[in-house]
Amino acid sequence: MAETVLLCILAYLIGSIPSGLIVGKVFYKKDIRQYGSGNLGGTNTFRTLGVKAGIAVTLADILKGTLAASLPALLGVAEINALIPGMIAVIGHMYPVFAGFRGGKAVATSGGVLLFYVPIMFLVIFAMFFISLFLTKYVSLSSMVAGISAVTYSILVEPRDIPLIIIVIILTTFVFYRHRENIKRILNKTEPKIKWL
């Protein structure tokens, strides 16, 4: 029991590492929460600090999910499903204790969890994200398309893995909830589009 609690706390702390805040302050002397959407995720980093910083933050956020999901194997706590600490890390990413509980939108870190647990699924939803991004130029919409793709994949391709289906539905719910303002802007046709693709 104690090991489980410690593992979950560690997963949350890993998820709470504010990659966007660190990269912005250390390398650009900017707090990205004061620019753009005010979000600490990769999208606002791209808009505020540029492509290099955006890629670095996105990769770091993905790796947070991957590392958290790998904790049961790394710490020898095999009875805990890797998806549990992974999901907790996503919560940490959204509500980071190290950044005033103002974090990202769950997309990259969720992807990192799936990268560890079902690498092929990660590649599929990664492809779906970029196809949607190419067609619509909306990062937010493409993030939600990726979430729907993950749910569809888990149900159709991994129907016997009930924990995967449940966690993917939860993670996708997180993504939609964190994008609720984006959904309003998309419907009102005021959501900004990317210009680099």
- Check pLDDT > 80 for residue 197: no
- Check pLDDT > 80 for residue 54: yes
Give residue 67's pLDDT.
98
Show the domain range for 81: 2-187
- Check pLDDT > 90 for residue 40: no
Give residue 63's pLDDT.
98
Over the stretch 107-130, which tens digit does the pLDDT of each residue have? 999 999 999 999 999 999 999 999
Q: How far apart are CA 42 and CA 40, in angstroms?
A: 7
Residue 197 lies in a domain: no
Q: Of 26-30, 90-94, 190-194, which has the strongest mean pLDDT?
A: 90-94
Please compute the mean of the pLDDT values over residues 159-187 and round it to a whole number.
97
pLDDT > 90 fraction of the chain, expressed in percent and rounded = 84
Residue 32 lies in a domain: yes
Give residue 132's pLDDT.
97
Please compute the mean of the pLDDT values over residues 78-95 and round it to a whole number.
96
Residue 193 lies in a domain: no
Residue 48 lies in a domain: yes
Residue 105 lies in a domain: yes
Residue 195 lies in a domain: no
Name, in order, each residue with C-beta under 8 angstroms of 20's C-beta and a sequence gap of 6 or more. Answer: 32, 39, 40, 41, 42, 44, 45, 57, 61, 104
Give residue 20's pLDDT.
94
Q: How far apart are CA 75 and CA 164, in angstroms?
A: 21
Q: How far apart are CA 25 and CA 32, in angstroms?
A: 8
Query: How would residue 43 be classed by pLDDT, with cut points 50, 70 and 90?
Result: confident
- Check pLDDT > 90 for residue 170: yes
Total domain count, the chain:
1
